Amino acid sequence: MRIALAVLHLVALGIGFGAIYSRGRQLNKLGTDPEALRRAFTADAWWGIAAILWIGTGLWRALAGTEKLPSYYWNNHIFYAKMGMLAVVLLLEIWPMVTLIRWRVAIGRALPTPAELAPIGRRLARVCDVQLLLIVCIVIAATMMARGYGAQ
């Protein structure tokens, strides 16, 4: 079970990283590529699936003690830094998530023109870039924890 959870956790990381990268690139293309919005929606859906899987397996691994005892995590300052970075990624996700949900709902009605969406898309793409950087930092923190750093 512990191997399966670890594999799922890492697979979710890969899917999520690729999805965020793709979503950001597609949001940058709004106004120039007629299929960009559809592809951004697809990437966003994959990001949602990956986030659920990533958080779910991470909580399971930390709380069930499949790798290390829960006390290892609760007494590790790098774990708290890692969770803080994850919290920032999730907080940053609020605006893109709400915006893309609104755009999905509006498709059947009066969605703004691609030219009107483009400036918002570029700003949302910058959010994706910051999220990607934070995810790389989370991976660095996880690697450090796996090697015993931060344990008290």
pTM equals 0.90
Q: How far apart are CA 122 and CA 44, in angstroms?
A: 15
Segment-wise mean pLDDT, segments of 10 residues, the chain, 152 residues? 93 97 97 93 97 95 89 94 97 97 86 85 98 97 93 82
Residue 88 identity: V
Ordered by start, the domain boundaries in the chain are 2-146
